[in-house]
Structure 1
Amino acid sequence: MTDRTLLLQTFDALLQPERFRDYGPNGLQVEGVATVRKIVSGVTASRALIEAAIAARADTIFVHHGLFWRGQDGRVTGWLKQRLALLLAHDINLFAYHLPLDAHPEWGNNAQLGLMLGLSAQSHFGEQNLGFLGGRVDEACFESAEALAQHLEFKVKRPVALVNVAKIAIKKIAWCSGGAQSYFEAAIAAGADAFITGEISEPQAHLARECGVAYLACGHHASERYGAPAVAAHVAAQLGLQHEFIDIDNPA
């Protein structure tokens, strides 16, 4: 077990939230019990995750998507009241890290997604350098964007939306987890043959066709299931805590 303040300091030292301009508060979002014994990690602080953490007898939850966002209605009603009521009634700490969790070079969403796909990052691109750019660890190339899409589908176990007209071998790959469709133009400018992210919006299909760069969308949740458990497991081992990852099913 450890002290909540030490746990916060450890997360902050690892993820360095002060480096980022983010869409909501990073760190401790809801204060619970002072002495921490077990962390449950997950992607989003949904009611289902909170209920699962309670059933798992956790006193702390660590997520990528917390409860509070810039521009959000500040009234504590409806779903927000229900989630907060559960956390407060069971004295559970909620830690949330958004962009810092995407960006961490070893334990973050992008690093872990790349590791799972067998990709190695050589550089970064896009706003706040959140995008990763590189290629296969074995320095080979995918014979086509379709082959890359099949590989991606196998790894994330989700259907992949592919837009591709170039029909070339894929060597230089850019990726950024979640809703990073706005990074596509930066990936094109960086010289990528293909771009992997979670979501696709209407403009990206046209850009892919006109610029000859393959676009692959594998799901927002599906692309961000890896950073939270990696960070939480690393910190739990460092501080002698229990850790359990609970993946709440989400088709997104």
Structure 2
Amino acid sequence: MQIGEICSFFDQLLELEKFAADPSNNGLQLCFDSTAECGKIAFAVDAALATAERAAAENADLLVVHHGLSWGGGLRRWNGMAGKRLGTMFKNDLSLYAVHLPLDAHSKYGNNAVLANMINLEDREMFFAYHNMDIGIIGNIADALEPEVLAQAAAGSGKDFVLCKSPLKDSPVRRVAVISGGGGADGLESAVAAGADMLITGEFDHTMYHTVQECPIHVAALGHYNSEVHGVQSLQKLVQEKFGTDTVFIDVPTGF
């Protein structure tokens, strides 16, 4: 398939037109020839120098990421760090496709949907409007569980997480909200209002602590990277199964 055809498939699948208010500049951010054949696609969380170099070493034609290079008004200087990243892509004819909020929100392939699958969340509903689009998921656990058990299930076997427990919630968790990445700080009060016993997110920051102490809700933070690796991996699997395209996942965990 051509690079443009693959990207058009992603555009339609992830309904990019619904996210016009997202400042993430979703879609094809860098392309040399959209009619060129796409022999190999690299998938990664971030468009960084490390991922660009490894994608180039893998002879990929297209790099698909969750966090792109262009945000809002876009790049204004093509030097320093941005110059190195773009230079690597230019030198290696590596095109870049980025998809941010649409990949958080997608009900099947999105970061939050996969996290919800990992904890067997039922009766799912979308919640937490961000840039006028609901991107979080809230639902119920069939059998109430302790917060530590749910946090580990969402983080993955052997992976670390941060758990902040509320002194006002001493019963097992049944209703859970999921907001990947850094959305937890903005979405915590929405989770409380929606009756969640626990919020699973990527990051836990200073501002969230007192909300947890004053409201009956626990918060588990899996790490921004660890909570948002699932969407691009889901797209990778889909492309392999649907088109038979050669792919590679480039894992560059940040530890945050």
Distance 2:154 2:124 in 1: 20
Does the 8 A contact of 1:153 with 1:160 survive in 2? no
Flag the structure with more relative contact order, 1 or 2, with Cα contacts below 8 A and sequence separation at least 6. Answer: 1
Q: TM-score normalized by structure 2?
A: 0.91
Distance 1:73 1:5 in 2: 23
- Give the secondary structure class of the aligned counterpart of 1:140: strand
Match of 1:132 in 2: 137
Distance 1:121 1:99 in 2: 22
Flag the 1:226–1:76 CA change in 2: closer, same or farther, 3 A. same
Match of 1:42 in 2: 44
Q: TM-score normalized by structure 1?
A: 0.92
For 2:217, give the aligned amino acid. Answer: V
Match of 1:174 in 2: 177
Deviations 1:94-146 (A, max 9, x none): 1000000111111111111222233235111111111100123xx1110x323
Does the 8 A contact of 1:61 with 1:94 survive in 2? yes
Shift of 1:236: 4.0
In the alignment, structure 1 residue 241 sits paired with structure 2 residue 245: yes
Distance 1:176 1:155 in 2: 20
Shift of 1:209: 1.1
For 1:26, give the aligned amino acid. Answer: N
Aligned pair count reads: 248
For 1:35, give the aligned amino acid. Answer: E
Does the 8 A contact of 1:110 with 1:176 survive in 2? yes
Distance 1:162 1:72 in 2: 36
Does the 8 A contact of 1:145 with 1:168 survive in 2? no
Does the 8 A contact of 1:145 with 1:164 survive in 2? no
In the alignment, structure 1 residue 119 sits paired with structure 2 residue 109: no
In structure 2, runs of 5+ residues without a counterpart are none
Does the 8 A contact of 2:176 with 2:198 survive in 1? yes
Shift of 1:210: 0.6
In the alignment, structure 1 residue 201 sits paired with structure 2 residue 201: no
In structure 1, runs of 5+ residues without a counterpart are none
In the alignment, structure 1 residue 26 sits paired with structure 2 residue 30: no
Match of 1:219 in 2: 223
Shift of 1:241: 1.1
1:74-113 aligned within 5 A: 74-113=76-115
The CA RMSD over aligned residues, in Å, is 1.7
Does the 8 A contact of 2:223 with 2:255 survive in 1? yes
Distance 1:30 1:56 in 2: 18
For 2:161, give the aligned amino acid. Answer: P
Shift of 1:238: 2.1
Distance 1:250 1:191 in 2: 32
Distance 1:39 1:10 in 2: 14
Distance 1:121 1:202 in 2: 31
Match of 1:147 in 2: 149
Shift of 1:225: 0.6
- Give the secondary structure class of the aligned counterpart of 2:182: coil
Distance 1:75 1:4 in 2: 27
Does the 8 A contact of 2:152 with 2:159 survive in 1? no
- Give the secondary structure class of the aligned counterpart of 2:60: coil
